[in-house]
Protein backbone atom coordinates (compact mmCIF):
# COMPACT_ATOMS: atom_id res chain seq x y z
CA UNK A 1 0.00 0.00 0.00
CA UNK A 2 1.00 3.62 -0.61
CA UNK A 3 0.13 5.45 2.59
CA UNK A 4 0.38 9.22 2.95
CA UNK A 5 1.16 10.29 6.52
CA UNK A 6 0.66 13.81 7.86
CA UNK A 7 2.59 14.90 10.92
CA UNK A 8 5.41 12.62 9.80
CA UNK A 9 8.00 14.08 12.19
CA UNK A 10 5.90 13.30 15.26
CA UNK A 11 6.27 10.18 17.36
CA UNK A 12 3.59 8.22 15.50
CA UNK A 13 4.70 9.50 12.10
CA UNK A 14 8.27 8.38 12.69
CA UNK A 15 7.10 5.00 13.95
CA UNK A 16 4.96 4.52 10.83
CA UNK A 17 7.94 5.24 8.62
CA UNK A 18 10.05 2.73 10.55
CA UNK A 19 7.31 0.10 10.25
CA UNK A 20 7.07 0.68 6.51
CA UNK A 21 10.82 0.30 6.03
CA UNK A 22 10.64 -3.16 7.55
CA UNK A 23 7.42 -4.24 5.81
CA UNK A 24 5.52 -4.19 2.56
CA UNK A 25 3.91 -0.75 2.81
CA UNK A 26 5.31 2.48 1.35
CA UNK A 27 4.85 5.52 3.57
CA UNK A 28 4.86 8.92 1.88
CA UNK A 29 5.70 11.29 4.76
CA UNK A 30 4.57 14.89 5.08
CA UNK A 31 6.07 16.76 8.00
CA UNK A 32 4.05 19.68 9.30
CA UNK A 33 6.65 22.10 7.95
CA UNK A 34 6.14 20.66 4.46
CA UNK A 35 2.35 20.41 4.56
CA UNK A 36 0.35 22.85 6.66
CA UNK A 37 -2.91 20.98 7.16
CA UNK A 38 -4.66 24.22 8.10
CA UNK A 39 -4.17 25.40 4.48
CA UNK A 40 -7.07 23.88 2.54
CA UNK A 41 -5.57 24.56 -0.89
CA UNK A 42 -2.19 23.10 0.06
CA UNK A 43 -3.82 19.95 1.40
CA UNK A 44 -5.94 19.45 -1.69
CA UNK A 45 -3.16 20.26 -4.17
CA UNK A 46 -0.69 17.96 -2.40
CA UNK A 47 -2.78 14.92 -1.57
CA UNK A 48 -5.33 14.64 -4.37
CA UNK A 49 -2.80 14.34 -7.26
CA UNK A 50 -0.80 11.88 -5.15
CA UNK A 51 -3.81 9.54 -4.91
CA UNK A 52 -2.49 7.30 -2.12
CA UNK A 53 -4.21 4.06 -1.15
CA UNK A 54 -4.75 5.40 2.37
CA UNK A 55 -4.07 8.54 4.41
CA UNK A 56 -3.06 8.40 8.07
CA UNK A 57 -3.64 11.83 9.57
CA UNK A 58 -1.30 12.16 12.53
CA UNK A 59 -0.73 15.93 12.36
CA UNK A 60 -2.15 17.80 15.33
CA UNK A 61 -1.53 20.67 17.69
CA UNK A 62 -0.91 18.61 20.82
CA UNK A 63 0.42 21.16 23.32
CA UNK A 64 -2.69 20.85 25.44
CA UNK A 65 -1.93 23.76 27.77
CA UNK A 66 -0.96 26.09 24.91
CA UNK A 67 -4.25 25.27 23.17
CA UNK A 68 -6.05 27.08 25.98
CA UNK A 69 -4.44 30.39 25.00
CA UNK A 70 -3.94 29.70 21.28
CA UNK A 71 -7.47 28.65 20.50
CA UNK A 72 -7.41 29.82 16.89
CA UNK A 73 -4.37 27.66 16.15
CA UNK A 74 -5.90 24.69 17.97
CA UNK A 75 -9.05 24.81 15.84
CA UNK A 76 -7.15 25.63 12.64
CA UNK A 77 -5.04 22.49 12.93
CA UNK A 78 -7.11 20.03 14.92
CA UNK A 79 -10.58 20.86 13.59
CA UNK A 80 -10.36 22.57 10.20
CA UNK A 81 -7.13 20.79 9.26
CA UNK A 82 -8.65 17.39 9.90
CA UNK A 83 -11.66 18.37 7.80
CA UNK A 84 -9.41 19.47 4.93
CA UNK A 85 -7.48 16.19 4.97
CA UNK A 86 -10.77 14.29 5.07
CA UNK A 87 -12.09 16.28 2.09
CA UNK A 88 -8.97 15.31 0.14
CA UNK A 89 -9.48 11.65 1.07
CA UNK A 90 -13.10 11.88 -0.07
CA UNK A 91 -12.00 13.37 -3.40
CA UNK A 92 -9.45 10.59 -3.87
CA UNK A 93 -11.81 7.88 -2.70
CA UNK A 94 -9.29 6.43 -0.26
CA UNK A 95 -9.69 5.57 3.44
CA UNK A 96 -8.64 8.15 6.03
CA UNK A 97 -7.36 7.08 9.43
CA UNK A 98 -7.48 10.14 11.71
CA UNK A 99 -5.83 10.04 15.12
CA UNK A 100 -8.05 11.12 18.00
CA UNK A 101 -7.60 11.40 21.74
CA UNK A 102 -9.01 10.16 25.03
CA UNK A 103 -9.34 13.83 26.07
CA UNK A 104 -12.70 13.96 24.25
CA UNK A 105 -14.16 12.27 27.35
CA UNK A 106 -14.62 14.13 30.62
CA UNK A 107 -13.04 11.34 32.68
CA UNK A 108 -15.59 11.63 35.47
CA UNK A 109 -16.72 8.01 35.61
CA UNK A 110 -14.75 5.01 36.83
CA UNK A 111 -15.36 2.57 33.96
CA UNK A 112 -13.37 2.65 30.70
CA UNK A 113 -14.86 4.61 27.80
CA UNK A 114 -15.75 2.62 24.69
CA UNK A 115 -16.29 3.72 21.11
CA UNK A 116 -20.04 4.19 21.64
CA UNK A 117 -19.80 6.54 24.62
CA UNK A 118 -20.66 10.16 23.87
CA UNK A 119 -17.74 12.58 24.15
CA UNK A 120 -17.93 15.43 26.63
CA UNK A 121 -14.76 17.47 25.99
CA UNK A 122 -13.68 19.83 28.79
CA UNK A 123 -10.76 21.76 27.25
CA UNK A 124 -9.92 23.68 24.09
CA UNK A 125 -7.63 20.86 22.99
CA UNK A 126 -10.36 18.27 23.57
CA UNK A 127 -13.06 20.35 21.89
CA UNK A 128 -10.85 21.04 18.86
CA UNK A 129 -10.06 17.35 18.45
CA UNK A 130 -13.74 16.42 18.79
CA UNK A 131 -14.59 19.12 16.25
CA UNK A 132 -12.06 17.51 13.91
CA UNK A 133 -13.88 14.18 14.17
CA UNK A 134 -17.15 15.92 13.30
CA UNK A 135 -15.64 17.91 10.43
CA UNK A 136 -14.08 14.78 8.93
CA UNK A 137 -17.31 12.82 9.16
CA UNK A 138 -19.24 15.57 7.38
CA UNK A 139 -17.05 15.27 4.27
CA UNK A 140 -18.37 11.80 3.54
CA UNK A 141 -14.84 10.39 3.61
CA UNK A 142 -14.22 6.68 4.22
CA UNK A 143 -13.29 7.57 7.80
CA UNK A 144 -11.69 5.66 10.66
CA UNK A 145 -11.20 7.74 13.80
CA UNK A 146 -8.61 6.11 16.06
CA UNK A 147 -8.51 7.52 19.58
CA UNK A 148 -5.44 6.81 21.64
CA UNK A 149 -3.68 8.05 24.77
CA UNK A 150 -0.37 8.82 26.51
CA UNK A 151 1.90 8.28 23.50
CA UNK A 152 5.63 7.90 23.99
CA UNK A 153 8.64 6.74 21.98
CA UNK A 154 12.42 6.58 22.06
CA UNK A 155 12.61 10.14 20.74
CA UNK A 156 10.58 13.29 21.08
CA UNK A 157 8.95 15.06 23.97
CA UNK A 158 7.17 12.51 26.15
CA UNK A 159 6.63 11.37 29.73
CA UNK A 160 9.15 8.50 29.71
CA UNK A 161 12.01 10.65 28.49
CA UNK A 162 11.08 13.43 30.91
CA UNK A 163 11.00 11.08 33.89
CA UNK A 164 14.36 9.54 33.00
CA UNK A 165 15.91 12.98 32.68
CA UNK A 166 14.50 14.16 36.01
CA UNK A 167 15.59 10.99 37.80
CA UNK A 168 19.15 11.44 36.61
CA UNK A 169 19.28 14.90 38.17
CA UNK A 170 18.87 13.29 41.59
CA UNK A 171 16.09 15.53 42.91
CA UNK A 172 13.05 14.04 44.70
CA UNK A 173 10.09 13.56 42.37
CA UNK A 174 6.38 14.13 42.98
CA UNK A 175 4.15 12.41 40.42
CA UNK A 176 0.36 12.51 40.02
CA UNK A 177 -1.30 9.34 41.30
CA UNK A 178 -5.02 10.07 40.83
CA UNK A 179 -5.23 10.28 37.03
CA UNK A 180 -5.29 7.07 35.00
CA UNK A 181 -4.76 6.21 31.37
CA UNK A 182 -2.95 3.78 29.09
CA UNK A 183 0.70 4.45 28.22
CA UNK A 184 0.90 3.74 24.50
CA UNK A 185 4.15 2.96 22.68
CA UNK A 186 4.22 4.68 19.29
CA UNK A 187 5.71 1.57 17.66
CA UNK A 188 2.79 -0.60 18.79
CA UNK A 189 0.26 2.06 17.79
CA UNK A 190 1.83 2.34 14.33
CA UNK A 191 1.57 -1.42 13.88
CA UNK A 192 -2.11 -1.26 14.83
CA UNK A 193 -2.77 1.63 12.44
CA UNK A 194 -1.22 -0.26 9.55
CA UNK A 195 -3.34 -3.29 10.43
CA UNK A 196 -6.46 -1.10 10.27
CA UNK A 197 -5.30 0.31 6.93
CA UNK A 198 -5.45 -3.22 5.52
CA UNK A 199 -9.06 -3.71 6.61
CA UNK A 200 -10.42 -0.16 6.73
CA UNK A 201 -13.96 -0.54 8.00
CA UNK A 202 -15.27 2.98 8.74
CA UNK A 203 -16.02 3.84 12.34
CA UNK A 204 -14.53 4.90 15.66
CA UNK A 205 -11.74 2.84 17.20
CA UNK A 206 -9.90 2.94 20.50
CA UNK A 207 -6.32 1.74 20.22
CA UNK A 208 -3.90 1.79 23.15
CA UNK A 209 -1.60 -0.63 24.88
CA UNK A 210 -3.70 -2.72 27.24
CA UNK A 211 -3.97 -2.30 30.98
CA UNK A 212 -4.02 1.00 32.82
CA UNK A 213 -1.70 3.06 34.99
CA UNK A 214 -1.55 6.33 36.86
CA UNK A 215 1.28 8.71 36.03
CA UNK A 216 2.88 7.63 39.32
CA UNK A 217 2.65 3.92 38.44
CA UNK A 218 4.02 4.61 34.96
CA UNK A 219 6.96 6.54 36.36
CA UNK A 220 7.68 3.84 38.95
CA UNK A 221 7.70 1.11 36.30
CA UNK A 222 10.01 3.19 34.12
CA UNK A 223 12.50 3.63 36.97
CA UNK A 224 12.44 -0.06 37.96
CA UNK A 225 13.06 -1.22 34.41
CA UNK A 226 15.80 1.35 33.91
CA UNK A 227 17.51 0.42 37.18
CA UNK A 228 17.00 3.86 38.69
CA UNK A 229 16.03 4.52 42.31
CA UNK A 230 14.96 8.15 42.65
CA UNK A 231 12.90 9.32 45.59
CA UNK A 232 9.36 9.43 44.22
CA UNK A 233 6.14 10.43 46.00
CA UNK A 234 2.52 10.07 44.85
CA UNK A 235 0.56 13.32 44.88
CA UNK A 236 -2.92 14.45 43.77
CA UNK A 237 -3.39 16.24 40.46
CA UNK A 238 -4.51 19.29 42.42
CA UNK A 239 -0.87 19.79 43.42
CA UNK A 240 -0.05 20.52 39.78
CA UNK A 241 -2.83 22.81 38.45
CA UNK A 242 -2.68 23.15 34.68
CA UNK A 243 -4.51 25.13 32.02
CA UNK A 244 -5.63 21.82 30.51
CA UNK A 245 -6.03 19.03 33.03
CA UNK A 246 -5.89 15.45 31.69
CA UNK A 247 -9.07 13.43 32.36
CA UNK A 248 -9.10 11.78 35.76
CA UNK A 249 -10.06 8.52 34.06
CA UNK A 250 -8.72 8.46 30.51
CA UNK A 251 -8.91 4.69 30.07
CA UNK A 252 -10.29 3.55 26.71
CA UNK A 253 -11.95 0.21 25.95
CA UNK A 254 -11.02 -1.41 22.64
CA UNK A 255 -14.14 -3.09 21.29
CA UNK A 256 -14.16 -2.26 17.58
CA UNK A 257 -10.53 -3.00 16.65
CA UNK A 258 -10.55 -6.12 18.82
CA UNK A 259 -13.45 -7.46 16.72
CA UNK A 260 -11.07 -7.25 13.76
CA UNK A 261 -8.34 -9.06 15.69
CA UNK A 262 -6.34 -5.89 16.38
CA UNK A 263 -5.13 -5.40 19.94
CA UNK A 264 -1.92 -3.96 21.36
CA UNK A 265 0.29 -5.67 24.00
CA UNK A 266 0.23 -4.78 27.71
CA UNK A 267 1.73 -1.38 28.49
CA UNK A 268 4.40 -2.89 30.74
CA UNK A 269 5.69 -5.07 27.91
CA UNK A 270 5.68 -2.10 25.55
CA UNK A 271 7.58 0.08 28.03
CA UNK A 272 10.20 -2.63 28.50
CA UNK A 273 10.77 -2.91 24.76
CA UNK A 274 11.03 0.86 24.40
CA UNK A 275 13.63 1.10 27.16
CA UNK A 276 15.65 -1.72 25.61
CA UNK A 277 15.54 0.13 22.28
CA UNK A 278 16.77 3.25 24.07
CA UNK A 279 19.60 1.28 25.66
CA UNK A 280 18.22 2.11 29.10
CA UNK A 281 17.91 -1.40 30.50
CA UNK A 282 19.87 -4.64 30.36
CA UNK A 283 16.83 -6.72 31.23
CA UNK A 284 15.79 -9.38 28.72
Is residue 125 annotated as a catalytic residue, yes or no? yes
Going by C-alpha positions, the residue among 19, 95, 14 that lies closest to residue 51 is: 95
Rg of the chain taking only CA atoms, in angstroms: 18
Identify the active-site residue in 103, 125, 152, 216: 125
Determine the Cα angle at 106 with ends 82 and 68, to 5°. Answer: 60
**C-beta pairs of 218-224 under 8 Å, 24+ apart in sequence:** 218/150, 218/159, 218/160, 218/163, 218/183, 218/267, 218/271, 219/159, 219/163, 219/173, 219/175, 221/268, 221/271, 222/160, 222/163, 222/164, 222/271, 222/275, 223/163, 223/167
CA atoms within 13 A on the CB side of 265: 13
Catalytic residues: 125
Amino acid sequence: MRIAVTGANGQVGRALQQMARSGEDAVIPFASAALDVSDASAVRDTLVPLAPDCIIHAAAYTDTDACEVQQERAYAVNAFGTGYVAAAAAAIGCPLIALGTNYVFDGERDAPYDEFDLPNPRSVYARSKWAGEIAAARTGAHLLVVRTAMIYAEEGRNFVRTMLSLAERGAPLRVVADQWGQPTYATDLARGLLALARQPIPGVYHLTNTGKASWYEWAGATFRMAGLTPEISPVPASDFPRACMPPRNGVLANRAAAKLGITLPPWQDALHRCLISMGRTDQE
